[in-house]
Structure 1
Amino acid sequence: MNPLAGISTQEWQVLAGPLRLRSEAERDVPRSLVASELLNDAVCSALLDELGPVIGSPSRRITASLLGKRLSFLLTGACLYAMSAYDKGLTLSLDNTYIEYGHDDGLWASSLPLRSLDAAVAPPEQREAWRLAIATQLFAGLLQPLWRSLHGVTGVSRRILWENTAVRVYSLYEKRLAKLECVATRQRCAEDFRWLTDEAPASVFGLDYNPLAHFNRPVTLLDNGTRAVRFRRTCCFYYQASNPVEYCSTCPLIRPKATR
């Protein structure tokens, strides 16, 4: 049964499949909390202390960065995919969103449960204002308070957390949405991506700059021009929580010196 009002079965399969959207009833109860609870310093600290040994992290700061990477995928993926591919708006607010942090056998097991799965359909002649509202709720209303809390508790750089977010948004639009079959839908997705990374005002993110624009550095061509990589400006510390040591494919620490 499709629990999401206004979304077709085929659309729900994508959102609930690779993008891991879930209903409230499907949440991982022992390893989840309402997003607003993470703004409490004591709750945030306890979650990070519980998660750190599970993911092999040596410090709260590194745990916060790696949790932020996972949350960036979950919180931006379904929301922006629904917005751009389906013209449907999910409510990702502090009180409607659950934060899951399950991690089993070296892999994240977390999903994105929402209390209400009702979707707002984009008004045909007011889509730009609607898009602005959806993006502002996601970034300034949800992610900015979460990143502020993780920074306050651990000291992890807010720019690391925002680049974690930016990397996930780039991947969503360049690797997933760019491959949709419908030409008109691909064009709408490309326009949304251009707006997010070029025109969206800083207020959309609750910041004094647009982090999606700031971190959108040119790609580096590798392997005789056959592979394009957009190397990060900041390191997410993944290598410090892996054994044996591994680096992300976009890690600035492995960027060829000649291209720095």
Structure 2
Amino acid sequence: MPHNKFKPIDLAFLRDHFRVVTEPVDGQHVVNDLLDEAYLSDVIAEIKPSFATDRDFVVGSQLMKRLGYLLIVPALYSFSTERVAMPLDWSRVALVSKMNGELWLPELYVADDVGYDCAEDLAASREPFFDQLFRQLASLVQAVSNVSNVPRPILWENVMVYVYWMYETVVNWHHDEATVNQFHDDFNVLIHQLSPDVFGERFNPIKRFYNGYHYIEPEQTFRRVRTTCCFNYEASSEGKYCKGCPKLEVNKEACRATRETMRQQSNSYST
């Protein structure tokens, strides 16, 4: 990746806001090892007792939600705020199991405290960084799909909800115009310029699942409604649904509208 110099990563902020840690612990799982499907199967079996289910399908979906958050959000945040590209060597990052009450909320151990300064050569650095980030994630999506039999579109939408959260909500943590513009510029590249090949799909999932907010009349509120279900209600002892779950009765009309929009757009994807 083109770069002019190294730049410190604000690990203190990532620790406080995105569950990044810098001290290794016993029993952590190196992310690169998760690409080995036999190893990944063992990890799913290990974390299964943390969920109210014995179905690999459900656990695989929940694992991908956590991995998507940890591997994508800190990297995108660091890039969109500081123009620092975090190193993407998955042999130097690890999944650290942690419980928050009854909820399995793992952390991400990061060994490197410096990244690549892309500010001076942004045009040459941005797309290669995004490309590598999501190509690696595509390999992990495929592995989780193979091991737990979760269709890839579900796993991709599990990740995309955090990408949208980053560029629609986290952006509001900042009030200086320059940083806000950086968020907007980066999201434009992600949604409009990344090739489907980056994701190993015939579509760019960032674009495919970006369907805006719908007005939910019974609750008189706006929300983004998913087109696929992550099966969180099966993983929770309380049977809790995500607010944007397409299976909730109040969301079904919005989900139908979203699916129709996707159907009309489907002819734009290569076969």
- The alignment's TM-score, normalised by the length of structure 2, stands at 0.85
C-alpha spacing 1:179/1:115, structure 2 compared with 1 (3 Å): closer
The alignment partner of 1:119 has SS state of strand
Corresponding position of 1:91: 87
1:152 CA drift (Å):
1.1
Q: Distance in 2 between matches of 1:68 and 1:104?
A: 18
C-alpha RMSD of the superposition: 2.0
Q: 1:47 aligns with which of 43, 46, 49?
A: 43
Q: Distance in 1 between matches of 2:96 and 2:87?
A: 17
Q: Distance in 2 between matches of 1:111 and 1:235?
A: 24
What are the equivalent positions in structure 2 for 1:39-188 lying under 5 Å apart?
39-124=35-120, 126-141=121-136, 143-188=137-182
- The answer on whether the counterparts of 2:66 and 2:105 sit within 8 Å (CA) in structure 1 is no
- The answer on whether the counterparts of 1:58 and 1:240 sit within 8 Å (CA) in structure 2 is no
Cα deviation digits, residues 110-155 of structure 1 (max 9, x gap): 212123232100142x3133111211221102x1111111111111
- The answer on whether the counterparts of 1:219 and 1:231 sit within 8 Å (CA) in structure 2 is yes
- The answer on whether the counterparts of 1:74 and 1:112 sit within 8 Å (CA) in structure 2 is yes
C-alpha spacing 1:258/1:107, structure 2 compared with 1 (3 Å): closer
Corresponding position of 2:3: none
Corresponding position of 1:21: 20
1:69 CA drift (Å):
0.6
Q: Distance in 1 between matches of 2:181 and 2:200?
A: 27
Q: Distance in 2 between matches of 1:37 and 1:235?
A: 27
Identity of aligned residues (%): 28
2:241 counterpart of 1:241: no
Flag structure 2 segments of 5+ consecutive residues without an equivalent: 1-5, 257-271
Q: 1:197 aligns with which of 179, 191, 199?
A: 191
Cα deviation digits, residues 53-89 of structure 1 (max 9, x gap): 1222321111010011111111111100000011001
- The answer on whether the counterparts of 1:140 and 1:205 sit within 8 Å (CA) in structure 2 is yes
The alignment partner of 1:160 has SS state of helix
Q: Distance in 2 between matches of 1:201 and 1:20?
A: 30
- The answer on whether the counterparts of 1:91 and 1:117 sit within 8 Å (CA) in structure 2 is no
Of stretches 109-118 and 127-136 in structure 1, the one that deviates more from structure 2 is 109-118
Q: Distance in 2 between matches of 1:100 and 1:80?
A: 20
C-alpha spacing 1:64/1:258, structure 2 compared with 1 (3 Å): closer
Q: Distance in 1 between matches of 2:80 and 2:26?
A: 30
The alignment partner of 1:75 has SS state of helix
Q: Distance in 2 between matches of 1:92 and 1:167?
A: 21
- The answer on whether the counterparts of 2:57 and 2:150 sit within 8 Å (CA) in structure 1 is yes
Corresponding position of 2:30: 34
Corresponding position of 2:259: none
Amino acid at match of 1:220: H
C-alpha spacing 1:62/1:258, structure 2 compared with 1 (3 Å): closer
- The answer on whether the counterparts of 1:173 and 1:193 sit within 8 Å (CA) in structure 2 is yes
Corresponding position of 1:222: 216
